[in-house]
Structure 1
Amino acid sequence: MMSEFVLPRFIFCLIQYLREGYNEPAADGPSEKDLNKVLQLLEPQISFLEDLTKMGGAMRSVLTQVLTNQQNYKDLTSGLGENACVKKSHEKYLIALKSSGLTYPEDKLVYGVQEPSAGTSSLAVQGFVGATGTLGQVDSSDEDDQDGSQGLGKRKRVKLSSGTKDQSIMDVLKHKSFLEELLFWTIKYEFPQKMVTFLLNMLPDQEYKVAFTKTFVQHYAFIMKTLKKSHESDTMSNRIVHISVQLFSNEELARQVTEECQLLDIMVTVLLYMMESCLIKSELQDEENSLHVVVNCGEALLKNNTYWPLVSDFINILSHQSVAKRFLEDHGLLVTWMNFVSFFQGMNLNKRELNEHVEFESQTYYAAFAAELEACAQPMWGLLSHCKVRETQEYTRNVVRYCLEALQDWFDAINFVDEPAPNQVTFHLPLHRYYAMFLSKAVKCQELDLDSVLPDQEMLMKLMIHPLQIQASLAEIHSNMWVRNGLQIKGQAMTYVQSHFCNSMIDPDIYLLQVCASRLDPDYFISSVFERFKVVDLLTMASQHQNTVLDAEHERSMLEGALTFLVILLSLRLHLGMSDDEILRAEMVAQLCMNDRTHSSLLDLISF
């Protein structure tokens, strides 16, 4: 057919223009003006392809054959012939790959992901030199080279699951068809709307849909790298999700690419590498010797929610039972995911100001709450939705096991023994909350015995400390003991219990403390509570007392806070057998007791 002869050359001509038009300057990247100029010149050609997609199934079938034909692509684009123009075009293509931190498989020997050495915590940064306190901000593709230059030993990466391909997920890209290179340039030009429309208009063709989904997965790491560098990340994010939601919402297709293209491995690895580019040394507990690293909430990556489209895709595929099942069965993936979650454990640390008021109030706290909710909690809820029956007990056991291992690594990395550092609080303990919620699901829905999924007494004592520290800090904040930290600390305290966040934050914390209270020695637990609230010296029969850690003006409110906490511990039954209807009724009564509410305001105030 004439169309099958002409179309490959037409598409190759389009690709040549895209290659020639993209110049990689020495600075951050090509200006938006230059990119738009190239795209404007190509608008008639792209519009022509778009018109072809509207001519019905027969034409879309022809286009699919052209776009996915590997031999045509090889013959026209290899640059091996005598045509100088084609050779130059191929060289520009290779330069574009290299400038993107990508290589052709033939260009270099590709190594697999390095395993941690025996006895090494995957959460820890090894080999801090001197007084170096933070990880330098490095691009994930060059991480191994740059870590050393920052005065740090190389970070050991977690071992990926056994199903991972031996080629590097992050650094290698080989195109075998027009479709693959077209998507590459679509990403490189930051998803121009015309190109996106053309690629999506082809989706009714099932063969194309499968091929395009596999191509999208193949380029997933490159999408992440481009998104991080983009100056228009909001627009690019929306266009990425506009594509991915149409690909990953289909369970059968999501399952197919999970099996054939290691979709889960790629997504988790890409998220891990994305966050690794903005890690800093944690100052929680042992500031000098801590080996734990956390995300820096002041980075644009978190402040601008740049990670959102990738997390959204991950949440989307976890909504499919067949995909979630593979995730929960894969021990390597669970280890990698817990490593990812650990980057948020202890982030946005607050240190109480004792002398002078802070000069500048940091406003990064909302980025921290949003990051934990979106990147940690929402995937957790997605996984929990598939652990509702007795037959899924093993999934919960897997998560609990690796969560406890990650928590032990965390305690080791921050050099925690039995006492929290004074005048510090972080509201972000996603590993604790994963453990608490899977514990709740195990008992409530899967008929597991609580003691069978609990650690030993020593670990249980450690698990109690940091959630309890948050409850004591809430009382301190309400008692104006943190007033020198400014209004932002009150904002954190309010956000922690706010209706959109409480399901994923304070509720799991309270449940975990209830479990600890039921299994630890009662005297130890109660004394720990009063010690954390700094009111032990008040509990005396003597006519006078001397509190060495609390000013007299704060004693009454802190004692009230401690007693209120004990009441909450005894009365809150969200995860202790209440049905969903009972919980909803209790929340409605609580809201209506305070004020008359409209139906819409109740929907806003009550967490579901």
Structure 2
Amino acid sequence: MSNSTAQVLMKKGKRGAAAYIHADCASGSPQHLGPLLDVLLNPSKAIDEWETIDWCRWLLAGGRTPDEFAAVVRSYDKHDKCGLVWIPRVVAYRCRTCGISPCMSICRDCFHRGDHSNHDFNMFLSQAGGACDCGDNSVMKEDGFCSNHGNKCPRTGAAPAELMCVAEAMMPRLILRLLQHFRENSWGPQTTSDSYRIAVQECEGYVQMLMEFNNMGDLMRSAMTKALINPQMYRNLVEPPFPDTEYGRYMAESNKMYEKAIESFPAPEPPDEYRHLAALAPRLMHHTLLDEFIFWTFKYEFPQNVVCFLLNMLPDQDYKEHLTRTFVLHYARIPLVLEQAADPDTLSNRVVHMSVQLFSNEALALRCVQQLQLLHVMVLSLRLMMGRILVPSTLHHAHRHRVIDCTKRLMKEHCYWPLVSDFNNVLSHKSVALLFLQDDALVDMWFEFLSMLQGMNVNVRETGGHIEFEPSSYYAAFSCELEAAAYPMWSVLSHLCEPAHAPLARRMVAAALARLQDWLHAANLTQPHVHRTEAMHASFHFPLHRYLAAFLCAGVRCMGLRAAELLPSQELLALLAVHPLRVQITRQADATLTSATL
């Protein structure tokens, strides 16, 4: 079928051409849809062209009007899960009584249709956006489902086989057209956050069309996800050899743009012992449309419309599994994307908007930990990110110990927040937290990261004059220790509540002591008495001390351990007490000075 024949078919009108194409697809071996799509989805045309989008709606309907087709498809929706996706600053609900995961959230309609009377719930304004978990028994209890979702809703009959034949045939090409648009705008001397934003705006109408298709329910969602996660379909669409036609030459050039984007995308630099991990490989490998889709999502700094489109299909379990694995394989690039972003705060919210939906499922998170070493990837990503802003410590002039520079943009703009938020999310699952504690290399890597916070943001007491403005770095320091050190500690401790966990608490106490001894050696602190000038320097940040105290206390209180078995020598205890005591003295001196001034 030539272009001229396609033009003849288009002269039948949208409804007539759609009915003809539907009959062709229902035969089992469509001959005419591909050439027609070559004309409609020609990459030389603007992707947001209204006429093209309208043609796609009519073709999908197969002879019905688009509204009639959508109604028919929705009538076969199983309503197992809600999956409604919302953007930031939308009101949602969280029910702790019904939730299995602490990140569980449901939309307003599902909350009011369910029975949450006398439950422990709260209404909140979503900071990062979210997706409704109603109907998902891996995230919330079934008795909390609303009347429209889960086992409470009526079952529908099977849909006619030919109903979705055009949709299943069209969907790979529709998704490919969006990837072609991303490829075209990914390379050049002027590619910046602004150029990415413009490229995303140019495809807004096209993405909205795909969202409308997705919102038709299970049948259409299944057609889309099959196209996205099928490796053979991806190879057929994008891999050479390409035919010697105008479209073939375009695809050859498009492939070069894709290769340049892959090569130019920043890669992590992990330690040699972890270079074998797939998620830390220097070059990304893509095998499905979804794999490449996730790459462009990262490359274009998580555009809101694309994130919502990807999340809208999460009720499909196979898709969710594939999306989560693909996300993990790209995960180590998140710090590099955040560091280069013009607006890291907005980007952070969009990253978490996606990741919180993926890591809230305990079984799925556990599989990622076991098969893709998710915990190692998370801790290494955080450590590598913070490792780029280390400076020599000024506490005791301990230049051999390096700490985070709290004046850097990475700290002041909380660029690390998505990483620690995800880490806390996965540690909320008991099975994952226990695996974390059982891995000596992982625990040691975590304490190496905590050492970067130990003694950071040193304060120097000023006695000779008034300080007009306090530096703002203190806020960045306290926020970082709270979010990146204290929250994970309490998440892990919440799972250690019985004598069987005693070896895990003992391991954490031993790891904290070993790292503290290294820190004391680097700080050249060999006696509990310090010079008066050194006493004028104080830090409020000692996460290694906090971990030692917290796991020691939990081990003795809940797990049957004896303090005498865990505590180090009196000499070492005296050295460890120096800085906590100095913090107390500093606070008391400040209070006394303030009182005297008043």
Say whether the fold is shared (TM-score over 0.5). yes
| Letter of the structure 2 residue corresponding to residue 384 of structure 1 | L
SS in 2 for 1:285: helix
1:63 aligns with 2:224: yes
| Letter of the structure 2 residue corresponding to residue 372 of structure 1 | E
| Letter of the structure 1 residue corresponding to residue 498 of structure 2 | V
**Following TM superposition, by how much is the alpha carbon of 1:166 offset from its aligned partner in structure 2, in angstroms?**
4.1
Aligned residue for 1:226?
337
**Whole-Å separation in 2 of the counterparts to 1:437 and 1:31:** 43
**Following TM superposition, by how much is the alpha carbon of 1:44 offset from its aligned partner in structure 2, in angstroms?**
2.7
- Give the 3 Å change call, closer, same or farther, for CA 86–405 of structure 1 in structure 2: same
- Give the 3 Å change call, closer, same or farther, for CA 387–205 of structure 1 in structure 2: same
Alignment of 1:587-602 (within 5 A): none
**Following TM superposition, by how much is the alpha carbon of 1:294 offset from its aligned partner in structure 2, in angstroms?**
0.8
| Letter of the structure 2 residue corresponding to residue 90 of structure 1 | N
Aligned length: 425
1:78 to 227, 239, 254: 239
**Whole-Å separation in 2 of the counterparts to 1:296 and 1:461:** 28
TM-score normalized with structure 2 length: 0.68
Aligned residue for 1:20?
184
1:466 aligns with 2:582: no
2:495 to 370, 386, 399: 386
- Give the 3 Å change call, closer, same or farther, for CA 354–80 of structure 1 in structure 2: farther
**Following TM superposition, by how much is the alpha carbon of 1:332 offset from its aligned partner in structure 2, in angstroms?**
0.7
**Following TM superposition, by how much is the alpha carbon of 1:476 offset from its aligned partner in structure 2, in angstroms?**
2.1
| Letter of the structure 1 residue corresponding to residue 403 of structure 2 | V
Aligned residue for 1:282?
393
SS in 2 for 1:294: strand
Aligned residue for 1:477?
590
CA contact (8 A) 1:112 1:167 kept: no
- Which digits, 9 at most, give the CA deviation of each residue in 1:281-303, with x for residues without a partner? 1111135xx21111111112111
- Which digits, 9 at most, give the CA deviation of each residue in 1:94-131, with x for residues without a partner? 2222322149xxxxxxx9723xxxxxxxxxxxxxxxxx
Aligned residue for 1:113?
271
**Following TM superposition, by how much is the alpha carbon of 1:11 offset from its aligned partner in structure 2, in angstroms?**
1.6
| Letter of the structure 1 residue corresponding to residue 307 of structure 2 | V
Aligned residue for 2:444?
335
| Letter of the structure 2 residue corresponding to residue 464 of structure 1 | A
Identity across aligned pairs (percent)? 41
Please list every run of 5 or more consecutive structure 1 residues that lacks an aligned counterpart in the other structure: 104-110, 115-158, 484-489, 491-552, 555-608
- Give the 3 Å change call, closer, same or farther, for CA 212–198 of structure 1 in structure 2: same
Alignment of 1:114-133 (within 5 A): 114=272
**Whole-Å separation in 2 of the counterparts to 1:79 and 1:423:** 68
SS in 2 for 1:219: helix
Structure 1 vs Structure 2 CA RMSD: 2.2
CA contact (8 A) 1:170 1:270 kept: no
CA contact (8 A) 1:241 1:309 kept: yes
1:397 aligns with 2:558: no
1:88 to 243, 250, 253: 253
Aligned residue for 1:177?
288
CA contact (8 A) 1:180 1:215 kept: yes
Aligned residue for 1:50?
211
CA contact (8 A) 1:342 1:406 kept: yes
- Give the 3 Å change call, closer, same or farther, for CA 168–188 of structure 1 in structure 2: closer
- Give the 3 Å change call, closer, same or farther, for CA 385–31 of structure 1 in structure 2: closer
SS in 1 for 2:391: strand
SS in 1 for 2:397: coil
**Following TM superposition, by how much is the alpha carbon of 1:387 offset from its aligned partner in structure 2, in angstroms?**
1.1
Aligned residue for 1:97?
262
| Letter of the structure 2 residue corresponding to residue 366 of structure 1 | Y
Aligned residue for 1:439?
552
Alignment of 1:488-507 (within 5 A): none
Please list every run of 5 or more consecutive structure 2 residues that lacks an aligned counterpart in the other structure: 1-164
| Letter of the structure 2 residue corresponding to residue 30 of structure 1 | T
Aligned residue for 1:347?
456
| Letter of the structure 1 residue corresponding to residue 420 of structure 2 | V
CA contact (8 A) 2:502 2:555 kept: yes
**Whole-Å separation in 1 of the counterparts to 2:234 and 2:334:** 23
CA contact (8 A) 1:112 1:166 kept: no
**Whole-Å separation in 1 of the counterparts to 2:318 and 2:224:** 11
Alignment of 1:225-244 (within 5 A): 225-244=336-355
SS in 1 for 2:448: helix
1:261 to 369, 372, 377: 372
**Following TM superposition, by how much is the alpha carbon of 1:179 offset from its aligned partner in structure 2, in angstroms?**
0.4
**Whole-Å separation in 2 of the counterparts to 1:404 and 1:218:** 34
- Which digits, 9 at most, give the CA deviation of each residue in 1:249-275, with x for residues without a partner? 111111121112211111111111111
- Give the 3 Å change call, closer, same or farther, for CA 348–170 of structure 1 in structure 2: farther
1:325 aligns with 2:483: no
**Whole-Å separation in 1 of the counterparts to 2:193 and 2:541:** 38
**Whole-Å separation in 2 of the counterparts to 1:395 and 1:479:** 43
**Whole-Å separation in 2 of the counterparts to 1:233 and 1:113:** 26
| Letter of the structure 2 residue corresponding to residue 450 of structure 1 | A
**Following TM superposition, by how much is the alpha carbon of 1:6 offset from its aligned partner in structure 2, in angstroms?**
2.6
| Letter of the structure 1 residue corresponding to residue 254 of structure 2 | S
1:188 aligns with 2:299: yes
Alignment of 1:306-317 (within 5 A): 306-317=415-426
**Whole-Å separation in 2 of the counterparts to 1:87 and 1:404:** 58
